[in-house]
């Protein structure tokens, strides 16, 4: 057992005499150690990151304050900044509109009027949600980036059309046969649509309360009920009705021929598809009850529903 070629012999595996030096063996050990350390560090970092993320997310899920921190869906900072910006815009644009109307004959009062209507609309979207559907209130409830960037492009185009038209052709009328009388009539109709549209949309959000949501719901929530009373007994989708006619009213007031046509086409296509899509889920949620309601109550947007 202790012979020359034995297990513990001179040339054995555990022999006391060291193995002859060879460059290949040294490089092999060095490469092995380097690869081992690299793989160990990589696996350690991966496991550490995984455990850290898991613990961090777990802590956040259990932290009632987390949703209200900056950059979160219900960020109080984000809500405060948007409310402040809308308040400043509403105040300045309303003041500018009144000053231009009372102190000048400029038709450019239509520009700050549009900003007034927009800032009030977006403020009421959040305010009404926060008051009557508090759990759903979030930064996105302002709808400032809804359908971005198409929404911003549409409003910017409307402002540019109004500015260019009233700057270079201030006496242009939609109704050349009736002159300024026709223009004043269309402005009155537009103001009526803006006020009525805003009132109907806000009333719909108030009356539906927790059953109202800015996005289509794919699952029926426990507090989601079919609302068929109040404004919903007259209009099947009063919030859509309100925004459709509100938007067209703003363009009548601004005297925008191109934007009026563009708004009408784009909004009709949007709400036509939205109603069909949403009502598939409403039928799935409420079955025959909703089908009966749909047969008896209209949307009051031309050729929608």
Q: Which CATH fold would you assign to the domain 66-136+144-296?
A: 1.20.120
Q: Is residue 187 within 8 Å of 173, Cβ to Cβ?
A: no
CA distances from residue 140 to 118, 143, 251 in whole angstroms, order as listed: 16, 6, 25
Tell me the pLDDT tens digit for each residue of 159-215. Answer: 999 999 988 887 776 665 566 777 889 999 999 999 999 999 999 999 999 999 998
Confidence of residue 38 (pLDDT cuts 50, 70, 90): low
Select the more confidently predicted residue: 94 or 55. Answer: 94
Which pLDDT score is estimated for 192? 98
Confidence of residue 218 (pLDDT cuts 50, 70, 90): confident
Q: Is residue 69 within 8 Å of 80, Cβ to Cβ?
A: no
Tell me the pLDDT tens digit for each residue of 222-246. Answer: 888 999 999 999 999 999 999 999 9
Phi, psi of 290 (to 5 degrees): -75, -35
CA distances from residue 201 to 36, 115, 144, 259 in whole angstroms, order as listed: 66, 18, 16, 22
**What percentage of the chain reaches a pLDDT higher than 90?**
67
Cα(116)–Cα(195) distance, integer angstroms: 12
- CA-based R_g, the chain, Å: 34
Which pLDDT score is estimated for 63? 85
Cα(33)–Cα(26) distance, integer angstroms: 11
């Amino acid at each position: 057992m202790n012979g020359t070629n034995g297990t513990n012999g001179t040339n054995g595996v555990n022999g006391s005499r060291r193995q002859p030096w060879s460059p290949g063996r040294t490089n092999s050990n060095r490469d092995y150690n380097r690869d081992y350390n690299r793989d160990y560090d990589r696996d350690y970092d991966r496991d550490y990151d995984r455990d850290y993320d898991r613990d961090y997310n777990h802590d956040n899920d259990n932290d009632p304050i987390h949703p209200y921190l900056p950059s979160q869906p219900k960020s109080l900072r984000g809500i405060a900044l948007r409310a402040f910006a809308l308040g400043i815009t509403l105040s300045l644009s309303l003041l500018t509109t009144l000053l231009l109307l009372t102190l000048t004959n400029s038709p450019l009062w239509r520009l700050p009027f549009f900003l007034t209507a927009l800032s009030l609309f977006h403020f009421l979207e959040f305010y009404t949600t926060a008051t009557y559907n508090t759990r759903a209130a979030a930064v996105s409830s302002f709808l400032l980036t809804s359908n971005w960037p198409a929404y911003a492009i549409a409003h910017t185009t409307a402002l540019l059309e109004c500015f260019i038209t009233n700057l270079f052709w201030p006496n242009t009328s939609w109704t050349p046969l009736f002159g300024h009388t026709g223009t004043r009539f269309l402005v009155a109709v537009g103001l009526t649509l803006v006020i009525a549209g805003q009132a109907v949309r806000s009333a719909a959000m108030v009356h539906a309360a927790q059953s109202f949501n800015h996005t289509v719901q794919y699952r029926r929530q426990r507090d989601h009920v079919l609302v068929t009373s109040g404004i919903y007994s007259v209009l099947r989708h009063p919030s859509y009705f309100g925004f459709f006619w509100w938007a067209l009213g703003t363009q009548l007031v601004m005297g925008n021929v191109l934007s009026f046509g563009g708004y009408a086409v784009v909004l009709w296509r949007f709400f036509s598809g939205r109603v069909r899509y949403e009502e598939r889920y409403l039928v799935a949620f409420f079955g025959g009850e909703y089908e009966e309601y749909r047969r008896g109550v209209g949307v009051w947007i031309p050729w929608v529903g």
